[in-house]
Amino acid sequence: MLRAQGRAVHQCDGGWVPVYVDQEQSICLMSVGFLLENPDEAVVWRGPKKNALIKQFVSDVAWGQLDYLVVDTPPGTSDEHMATVDALRPYGPLGALVVTTPQAVSVGDVRRELTFCRKTGLRVLGVVENMSGFVCPHCAECTSIFSRGGGEELASHAGVPFLGSVPLDPELTKSLEEGRDFIREFPESPAFPALLSIAQKVLTEAPARVP
């Protein structure tokens, strides 16, 4: 999605140098994918090995001065999530952004994520509903492919902010496939105002700390 595939991670005195994805060096990232010889290789690792790498990604990467560190986790409430929360705790993480799709099966899973946040003392910045309706590009009618409103209900039930719904948009998927700049190329997309409003709410809820 960020056109970073195949890029290499180098070592410096401060640790691993993360991969910068834009010329302004405003976004950098770290992924186990950069450390594999073959991108199709399966990372067949049990919990302890994964936990150790997550810890290293927080402590042994020369992140420099960051406004935000975003950790994109898989679904679930297992080793990766515990290791991430443990590794970040000394830095006082701003909180968790919890994403669900609208249908009950997904909301049930995400409800357990919220319980996990409560148990581990991680603040919940809010809930986002993704894949929330689809506006047909041929007839402009909207269909709720995956049910409707599950994210908002979940947030209200759990007493956490609801940050917004992002509709399905084939242009967004396509842009991500091709590593293109969605925001510049598709300012008219229905997903764009949704994403913008969510980003603004997050920035208000969790302003970057000036050290």
Binding site for a copy of itself (CB under 8 A): 1, 39-48, 50, 74-79, 81-82, 103-105, 108, 111-113, 115-116, 119-120, 134, 136-139, 141, 143-147, 168, 170, 173-174, 176-177
Please, what is the minimum distance in Å from the beta carbon of residue 208 to a copy of itself? 28
- Our CB check for a copy of itself shows the closer of 71 and 145 to be 145
Amino acid at 156: S
Around Cβ 157, how many Cβ atoms within 10 Å? 12
> Look-up: residue for tokens 């496939």?
177
Helix (H, G, I), strand (E, B) or coil at 49: helix
C-beta atoms surrounding 131 within 10 Å: 20
- Nearest distance from residue 139's CB to a copy of itself, in Å? 4
Rounded Cα distance, 11 and 27, in Å? 18
Nearer to a copy of itself, 62 or 97 (CB): 97
Shortest distance, CB of residue 75 to a copy of itself, whole angstroms? 7
**Is residue 160 within 8 Å of 127, Cβ to Cβ?**
yes
Q: Which is nearer to a copy of itself, 24 or 106 (CB)?
A: 106
